[in-house]
Amino acid sequence: MPQFNITVTKNLSNLNKLTKNIQSDTLSKSAANAFVTRIKQAINQRASFPSGELSKSIKSLRHGDSSSYGVTGLYYYWYANYGRRPGNPPGKKVKKIDAWASRAGMKGKSLRQHIAVYGTHKLLFHEVAKKLFKVDKPRIYKQLFK
Amino acid sequence: MTGISIEEVESKVINTFLDILRNGLVDIKTPSRNTKYWIRSQVKVSESTPGLNKRTRVKSSSTPGFPQVVVCDFFETRELRTMKSDNYQCKFKTYYVLTIRILDKGSSAQTGKLAGSVQKVLFNNINTLQDNYIYDLSFSNVPLPGYSTDNMDLNERQIICKFKVAINYASI
């Protein structure tokens, strides 16, 4: 009877594109959950027409056997946070832009051109969340920067 | 002493704060401005079915002009079981947090002045709040980084109100 050797390899490169590390694993579980609620609060307050996808994606996670927790979110969190300067259009690999364009009744190409001309506004969710976290938990505020 | 039932706590607290602010605050630039539009709630709660309150987000574009005072983000932090007594129907006081956003364009000093006057109005109406079962109110006034929309740059300040609400669990 013939024998086959089968090796299974994991390719996590595509998965890494979907989520982004927002906060490294330095927080306790309750502190990480508090930070997550602050970020969600800031997104819901500042985004003019939130679809809810970004705020839903933000979660507290523990990597491996680590005892402390971090925070992750969708890959475009930092683009929404700091905005984008006018200049080159975003690449075609950023598929989310096509979805946003179709929701607004536009084509993906025209939205990319619009972003290239005007850029996008910075909404600074992360800075707001950090300030609100400082009010809520002043003793462990410094753990955010580790 | 009866307290508020858990179903109506969110809508009642938000409406109490809105009423106090609408009666006490005046826009310094245009005193005749209708407070219904510039002092508003970001969340509309309807008590259609008990236990399943319907929450809808009010769009910011529906309200014209600046400055704006927005009451939003009401949530529970923890329970304090101090009032467990046979003399009271109300058994619990529960900690809540309410956020009041103050948005304005122009200089950030104007936003700070408005935030101060919001705090003063709430302090002056402590008796009205206690009639609505809200106790031990404390504030923290947080300046936040400004942000820009399509038309203008906005300054923001938030007043985070922490308080206890007497909840009546007797009906459950």
The better pLDDT of the pair B49, B35 is held by B35
Q: State which H helix or E strand residue A109 sits in.
A: helix A108-118
Phi, psi of B99 (to 5 degrees): -105, 130
- Quote the pLDDT of residue B20: 93
Of A45, A121, A128, the CB nearest to B145: A128
Chain B residues in contact with A126 by the CB 8 A cut-off are none
Percent of chain A residues past pLDDT 70, beyond the cut: 90
* Nearest of B156, B155, B120, B166 to residue B139 by alpha carbon: B120
Q: How many other CB atoms sit within 10 Å of the CB of residue B163?
A: 20
| Average pLDDT of chain A, as a whole number | 82
* B72 → closest Cβ in A45, A124, A128: A45
Q: Phi-psi category of B106—alpha, beta or left, where left has phi over 0 and alpha has psi -120 to 50?
A: left
Evaluate if residue B10 carries a pLDDT over 90: no
pLDDT at B49: 53
Task: Grade residue B73 by pLDDT with cuts at 50, 70 and 90.
Answer: confident
Per CB-CB distance under 8 Å, the chain B contacts of A48 are 60-61, 149
Closest approach of B9 to chain A, Cα-based (Å)? 20
Per-residue pLDDT tens over the stretch B109-151? 889 999 999 999 999 998 888 888 888 889 899 999 988 877 7
Residue type (1 letter), A138: P
Asked if B90 and B83 count as a contact pair (C-beta separation under 8 A), the reply is yes
**ipTM computed for the complex:** 0.79
Helical packing angle, B108-124 and B9-24, nearest 10°: 110
Confidence at residue B17, expressed as pLDDT on a 0 to 100 scale: 92
pLDDT (0 to 100) of residue A137: 84
Residues from chain A contacting residue B101 (CB–CB below 8 Å): 45
Residue range A90-105, pLDDT digits in tens: 888 777 788 888 887 8
The alpha-carbon gap from A18 to the nearest alpha carbon of chain B, in Å, equals: 26
On whether any CB of chain B is under 8 Å from the CB of A20, the answer is no
Q: Which chain B residues are within 8 Å of A132, Cβ to Cβ?
A: 142, 158, 160
Q: Is A16 on the interface with B (CB under 8 A)?
A: no
pLDDT at B108 over 90: no
Nearest CA-CA distance, residue A57 and chain B, Å: 19
- Contact in structure between A27 and A70 (CB atoms under 8 Å): yes
- Can you tell me the distance from the alpha carbon of B106 to that of A77, in angstroms, rounded to the nearest whole number? 28
Nearest CB among A45, A48, A127 relative to B149 is that of A48
Write the DSSP assignment of A34-85 as a string of letters.
HHHHHHHHHHHHH-SS--SHHHHH-EEE--TT-SSEEEEEETTHHHHHH-B-
- The beta-carbon neighbor of A131 closest among B59, B75, B144 is B144
Output the average pLDDT for chain B. Answer: 79
- Give me the pLDDT at residue B159, please: 93
Q: What value does the mean pLDDT take over residues A79-99? A: 84
**Residue B87 pLDDT greater than 70, yes or no:** no
